[in-house]
Amino acid sequence: MEKFDKVHGVAAPMPLINIDTDMIIPKVHLKTIKRSGLGVVLFDEMRYHDHGGENEEFILNKPAYRNTEILVAGDNFGCGSSREHAPWAIKDFGIKVVISTSFADIFFNNCFKNGILPIVVAEEHHVVLMDDAHKGENARMTVHLEDQQITTSDGVVIEFEVDPHRKHCLLNGLDDIGLTMEKNHHIDKFEDHASQARPWV
């Protein structure tokens, strides 16, 4: 996985709450057997008209937000299905950070597996960041993972929390499976014990 360090880019506002994974990527695009190339259908039903063609009103279609790298979203972002196609599409579009007051659990996990940093901030900070995101392409935010800080275009610094293990993996681009396989002896030991204790499993 690519190493994650610092993102300095355009932040787009999506204040709607409960943006679900069907909105992020509708099921018609889940029929792929690949991970790549889904950016073009990110937010498909909001982004394009029923008859085709871009919906100019949709935030990511506006000239100022076409190169968005940071998304400031409403509460409970990513609720619904476990489809990892959602973070794959977000990443493929070029978005590397999503900021909200809360995320759905599975989506939150899936982000880290794909080099996306989901950041939970308090309501008061969310308001500041949402306002900043409304300023368009000249207002660029910086997200610094090492220091756990978001800096708005006005220079306001907001600190955020991140799980230390996940931070370490993102910063170093570490592959979870490789890391777990280093603990194979623990898994072997557990299996030996479990096959005695619960042989019916």
Partner 1 sequence: MSPKTLYDKIWDAHVAHEADDGTCLLYIDRHLVHEVTSPQAFEGLRMAGRPVRAPEKTIAVPDHNVPTTADRVNGIENPESRIQVEALDKNAKDFGIHYYPVHDVRQGIVHIVGPEQGWTLPGMTVVCGDSHTATHGAFGALAHGIGTSEVEHVLATQTLIQKKSKNMKVEITGKLQPGVTAKDITLAVIGETGTAGGTGYVIEYCGEAIRDLSMEGRMTVCNMAIEGGARAGLIAPDETTFEYVKGRPHAPKGAQWEAALNWWKTLYTDEDAHFDKVITLRGEDIAPVVTWGTSPEDVLPITATVPHPEDFEGGKVDAARRSIEYMGLEAGQKLSDVEIDTVFIGSCTNGRIEDLRAAAEILKGKKIKDGIRAMIVPGSGLVRAQAEEEGLAEIFKEAGFEWRLAGCSMCLAMNPDQLQPGERCAATSNRNFEGRQGRGGRTHLLSPAMAAAAALTGRLTDVRELM
Interaction of residue 87 with partner 1, rule CB under 8 A:
yes
Whether 142 and 151 have beta carbons less than 8 Å apart is answered as yes
Closest CA to 101 of 79, 76, 133, 69: 76
DSSP 3-state assignment of 64? helix
Among 5, 105, 146, 154, binds partner 1 (CB under 8 A): 105
Rounded Cα–Cα distance for residues 137 and 67 (Å): 8
The verdict on 51 binding partner 1 (CB under 8 A) reads no
- Going residue by residue from 137 to 176, which x/- string records binding to partner 1, judged by CB under 8 A? --------------------------xxx----------x
Which of 3-11, 12-20, 63-71, 142-150 is the region at the interface with partner 1 (rule: CB under 8 A)?
A: 12-20
The amino acid sitting at 11 is A
Does 8 bind partner 1 (CB under 8 A)? Our answer is: no
Among 23, 59, 71, 158, binds partner 1 (CB under 8 A): 23
The reply to whether 75 sits near partner 1 by the rule CB under 8 A is yes
- In our burial notation (b when 16+ CB lie closer than 10 A, e otherwise), range 131-161 reads ebbebbbebbbbbebeeeebbbbeeeebebe
45 forms part of the interface with partner 1 (CB under 8 A):
yes
Q: Among 39, 62, 80, 139, which residue sits at the site for partner 1 (rule: CB under 8 A)?
A: 80
- The DSSP string of 154-198 is T--EEE----HHHHHHHHHT--HHHHHHTTHHHHHHHHHHHHHH-
Applying CB under 8 A, the site for partner 1 has a residue count of 58
Q: Which ranges in 74-183 belong to alpha helices (H)?
A: 85-93, 105-112, 123-133, 164-172, 176-181
34 lines the binding site for partner 1 (CB under 8 A): yes
Q: Is 82 in the site for partner 1 (CB under 8 A)?
A: yes
Q: Are 84 and 23 in contact (CB under 8 A)?
A: no
Binding site for partner 1 (CB under 8 A): 15-18, 20, 22-23, 26-28, 30-35, 45, 50, 74-76, 79-84, 87, 102-106, 109-110, 113-114, 163-165, 176-177, 179-181, 183-184, 186-187, 189-191, 194, 197-201
